[in-house]
Structure 1
Amino acid sequence: MSRIQSDLDFSAQGKQTGFLRVPCPRNSSAWGVLMIPVVLIRNGEGPSVLLTAGQHGDEYEGPLALGELMRTLQAEQIQGEIMILPALNLPALQISTRLSPLDGKDMNRAFPGDPNGSPTQMLADYISRVLLPRADLVLDMHSGGQSLDFLPSVIMHRVPDARQYTATRSAFEAFGAPYGMVLAELDAVGMFDTYVEQQGKIFLSTELSGAGQVSREALAIAIAGVQRLLQHLGLLREPIVPPARGLWFCFYPC
């Protein structure tokens, strides 16, 4: 059973804002609690999407894009359910580091997590066991951080299941980034990607600029891409605006 608490009511309609409260005692705070922001928007029957960013604290476009979405999107605009966590690794975001300063862990190597582990492991477990089962699709947004600088790209994997691959490919195209990568990870152990796909879910990621700064161009691409993705899934009621066809690359063993 998870030690994380939340005041969200997953059966209620409308827009809720709140926190995941992660137990985090430490030298500076004996009864410390880590507050991870979360928004839940529900309106009737429809698909469910989990939108995440900030697994690495030096990657900024995703948190900013999802922060804009959680401020502006209202329940009457959607049909279905949207879960938004813009700052998964909040302690790292606060000091612009890739790894959590609380336990030194890379969150994107901590899945499926541990309910009795470190703060990073507990949060990964909560996402894996509480939020992910609700979702039909997961979008996990990344950038290059301090050490890398990417062309603005949407990313998918060549999953073996044909139906899962077809649905992922359709969502990949709908996001409409200027560049698309179909890849195989060099080190997939513990990745959020790996765990989501093993559950048969649709998974997309992004790499949006980086170099320790925010690109206005990449941020605009991120916001527009999320909107197109939600429209593609039937969650947003506005008509979809087709993107220009980008350049696609395949980084996959032959």
Structure 2
Amino acid sequence: MISYGPVSCDLDFGRDGVSAGNLYLDHSDDAHAATLVPVPVVVLRNGAGPTVLLTAGIHGDEYEGQIALRRLVHELPLGELTGRIILLPAVNAPAVRAAMRCSPLDGANMNRAFPGSAAGGPTAALAGFILDHLVPLADFVLDLHSGGATGLYCDQAFLCLAEDPVLRAKGIEAAAWLGCPVTYAIPADADYGDFDGAVLARGVSLLSSEFGGGALASPTSVGRAVAGLRRILHWAGVWHGDVAAPGTIYSVPAGRLLAPRAGLFEPLFEAGETVVAGALAGRLFDLDEPLRPPLDLRFPAGGIVVNRYRPALVPAGAILASLAEPRAPDAL
């Protein structure tokens, strides 16, 4: 039995074969008078070798990664493995079950809760258990995200550039093996509270990703995620299938298109599209004054639209599009 505050698990992570169980969160509130809230975990192990930790569902309304990990459990023969895969397909299980971005238990965003705290509430306790007990077992971590209810991403690797040159180089290499059309690279920040920065601060290599979104389960994005998972496992030395690295376009932030006020937004672009600075991005219509002329919004910079706001009804300050410009790998 291993534990971290109110979270415990009795699964044997060193056992050969296929093992399934739960992390159990001891939590009590109006809906859980006396409940151990389960968070599913699966371990595939075939002898000695590297360990890869695969995670999805840190945000509960992001589905492509959750489906891809469940598919992997059923589609990857144990005999083709050397080493161990630990899968957490619903990291923030309370949010997954409620179809919410943040946990219904405490309203917390798990991707702002790291490094965690045993006494900081249920979300922080789950984050701390994963960081203290599961991340140290891993040689590499791949975290799967998508746009959730309000975002839509072009399929991409999301690369946090570690200060450590070895970890940074490993992340850049992993992004090529994941094989998404685009890799979006930003500096890692250990103080932001996200999983990426916390894992890298522990000296473990990590790559994150964004596949689709919009509360959908895009067949294209799920298929691309499953194929990318297989390539990552091959690259890490855990799976021996015959695959190759297709490469990627590395990019860095170039600008964001914001909604200056609330309204109905008519976009004239799609996620993944390449646009030029000053081009018309869309029109923002007033909700209450139909005769008020729409506001033309133009791209503040050129580049690849790596994500867009999905609902037409937008609040003031909504990020309508994030733009990225290409970079050579050695310039990241």
TM-score (norm 2): 0.72
Task: Specify the SS of the correspondent of 2:155.
Answer: strand
5+ residue gaps, structure 1 = none
Listed as ranges, the matches of 1:1-254 within 5 Å are 2=4, 3-184=6-187, 189-243=192-246, 245-251=247-253
Structure 2: which amino acid aligns with 1:173? A
How many positions carry a matched residue from both structures? Answer: 253
In structure 1, C-alpha distance between the alignment counterparts of 2:242 and 2:94, rounded to whole Å: 38
In structure 1, C-alpha distance between the alignment counterparts of 2:232 and 2:180, rounded to whole Å: 11
Task: Specify the SS of the correspondent of 1:183.
Answer: strand
In structure 2, C-alpha distance between the alignment counterparts of 1:103 and 1:228, rounded to whole Å: 37
Which structure would you say has the larger Rg?
A: 2
Q: Is the Cα–Cα contact under 8 Å of residues 190 and 201 in structure 2 kept in the other structure?
A: no
Identity %: 36
Deviations for 1:208-243, whole angstroms, at most 9, x for unmatched residues?
A: 111221111111110000000001111001122332
Q: Is the Cα–Cα contact under 8 Å of residues 41 and 74 in structure 1 kept in the other structure?
A: no
Structure 1: which amino acid aligns with 2:248? G
Q: Is the Cα–Cα contact under 8 Å of residues 179 and 247 in structure 1 kept in the other structure?
A: yes
Structure with the higher helix share, 1 or 2: 1
Q: Is the Cα–Cα contact under 8 Å of residues 177 and 244 in structure 2 kept in the other structure?
A: no
Task: Specify the SS of the correspondent of 2:104.
Answer: coil
Structure 1: which amino acid aligns with 2:205? I
> Which stretch has the larger CA shift, 7-16 or 192-201?
7-16
Q: Is the Cα–Cα contact under 8 Å of residues 175 and 248 in structure 2 kept in the other structure?
A: no
Structure with the higher strand share, 1 or 2: 2
5+ residue gaps, structure 2 = 256-331
Q: Is the Cα–Cα contact under 8 Å of residues 51 and 139 in structure 2 kept in the other structure?
A: yes
Deviations for 1:26-65, whole angstroms, at most 9, x for unmatched residues?
A: 1123111110110011112211111000011111101000
Deviations for 1:155-200, whole angstroms, at most 9, x for unmatched residues?
A: 1122222211111111111110111111236895111111101111
Query: Would the alpha carbon gap of residues 15 and 57 (structure 1) be closer, same or farther in structure 2, given more than 3 Å must change?
Result: same
TM-score (norm 1): 0.93
Q: Is the Cα–Cα contact under 8 Å of residues 38 and 83 in structure 1 kept in the other structure?
A: yes
Task: Specify the SS of the correspondent of 2:159.
Answer: strand
Task: Specify the SS of the correspondent of 1:59.
Answer: coil
In structure 2, C-alpha distance between the alignment counterparts of 1:14 and 1:186, rounded to whole Å: 37
The higher-RCO structure (CA 8 Å, 6+ apart) is 1
In structure 2, C-alpha distance between the alignment counterparts of 1:110 and 1:146, rounded to whole Å: 20
Please give the root-mean-square deviation of Cα atoms over the aligned residues, in Å: 1.9
Structure 2: which amino acid aligns with 1:52? T
